[in-house]
Structure 1
């Protein structure tokens, strides 16, 4: 494990942390929100530079279900990011206020819609790398082997996070953002700022869990359909 690899991993985790933080718009205010968003896009540019070889392999390996799933998630994120950036520039009141563009209520709704889509797709993207992240964590913590108790505990924790994430989708009222509906409910940051952060973390956890276990199911599907498996079954 090289220092450059760890540096890239820290940058990626910092980028999704900034994305989460940006959702607390009413807590931090517009100026901080825009600075956080601009910093996140700077990190995403570095992420694409570090992973530029991925683009050269984009046209290959589409026959594997695992590859199809992971590349579809990544491409969806790539397609959403320009929309988030453009809408961010249009609604900007601080960082890009010098540009001759005019915002509107509809554009702000579109910005919120794309932001929540990016949040969930980014969570799926994180889940694609979860096995690698856990492997790095084990190495740093000196854990050499997994026990049955550890496995059961982690699966139980995943179930709890997923359940809390599903519940959070309703509490945060993600539906109204995705449908661009006018919502009259506002989060009380003075009373429950920690709850807001935890619920959005749970939503990210839900997406990561879905992606992580989807890859496991696809790997299982591939093993069962492999020629070697068929020979063993004869």
Structure 2
């Protein structure tokens, strides 16, 4: 594996970590939240530069299931991230406060909506590339042989994480957030900081699980039909 590719993978996971951390607004405070968000967007810019060839393939491969699904996830993710960036700049109180822009309650609601949309779509995006990530992990640890026990343990863990992800959707009350419903609730980070990140990580795991095994199901169905 080329060192540059491994570096790209690390930067991508770092960007995902920044997105997860930025959701903990009440814990971080506005200034840290904006700094982390700015770092995330810088990493996303590098991600798009590294993967710039993908944009030249947008009009191609729509009839191939995997390519179609990838585009149907990546394009909404791109729009969501751009919306998140625009609203971030508008409501900024620290990093971009020098700009003559006026923040409104609606823009802040849209910002929160796009943040959680980005979390969900990015999780699915990650799942679409999970096989490649697992190949990288196996290569780094020198795993060259198959193991039924290892496969069983990993799949069991995936099912457990996905189940926790379903529960976490309700724990973090993600439904109202996606419909921009006003809520007076807030997460008590003094008592449950770790729980916050575990629940959101489980939601990411759920997205990865659905995308990864959904692709495998489609592939198996195509092979059976061939």
User: Does TM-score exceed 0.5, indicating one fold?
Assistant: yes
Match of 2:4 in 1: 4
Structure 2 match to 1:177: 177
Report deviation, 1:112.
0.5
Shift of 1:160: 0.7
The question of 1:205 aligning with 2:205 is answered: yes
Distance 2:13 2:130 in 1: 11
Q: Distance in 2 between matches of 1:6 and 1:13?
A: 11
The residue that corresponds to 2:194 in the other structure is 194
From the CA coordinates, give the structure whose radius of gyration is larger.
1
RMSD of aligned alpha carbons: 0.9
Name the CA distance, whole Å, in 2 between partners of 1:101 and 1:149: 57
State the match for 1:229 in structure 2: none
SS for the counterpart of 1:223 is: helix
Q: Counterpart of 1:43 in 2: which secondary structure?
A: helix
- Kindly tell me the number of residue pairs found equivalent between the two proteins: 226
Q: What is the distance in 2 between the residues matched to 1:12 and 1:144? A: 25
Distance 2:75 2:169 in 1: 24
Where in structure 1 do 4 or more consecutive aligned residues deviate above 4 Å?
none
Cα distance, 1:105 vs structure 2: 1.5
TM-score by length of 2: 0.98
**CA–CA distance in 1 between the matches of 2:142 and 2:52?**
32
- By how many angstroms is 1:61 displaced? 1.0
CA–CA separation in structure 2 for the residues paired with 1:146 and 1:205: 23
Q: Are 2:31 and 1:31 equivalent residues in the alignment?
A: yes
Deviation at 1:75, TM superposition (A): 0.9
CA deviations over 1:12-47 (Å, ceiling 9, x no partner) = 111111100100111110000000000000011110
SS at match of 1:16: helix
> Does 2:17 align with 1:46?
no
Aligned to 1:18: 18
Instruction: Give 1:224 deviation, angstroms.
Output: 2.0
What is residue 133 of structure 1 aligned with on the other side? 133
Q: Tell me how far 1:121 sits from its aligned partner.
A: 0.3
1:201 and 1:99 map into 2 onto residues whose CA distance is 34
TM-score of the pair, normalised by structure 1? 0.94
Is 1:65 aligned to 2:65, yes or no? yes
d(CA) in 2 for partners of 1:64, 1:218: 11
Distance 1:82 1:74 in 2: 12
Structure-to-structure mapping, 1:49-128, within 5 angstroms: 49-128=49-128
Shift in Å, 1:218: 1.4
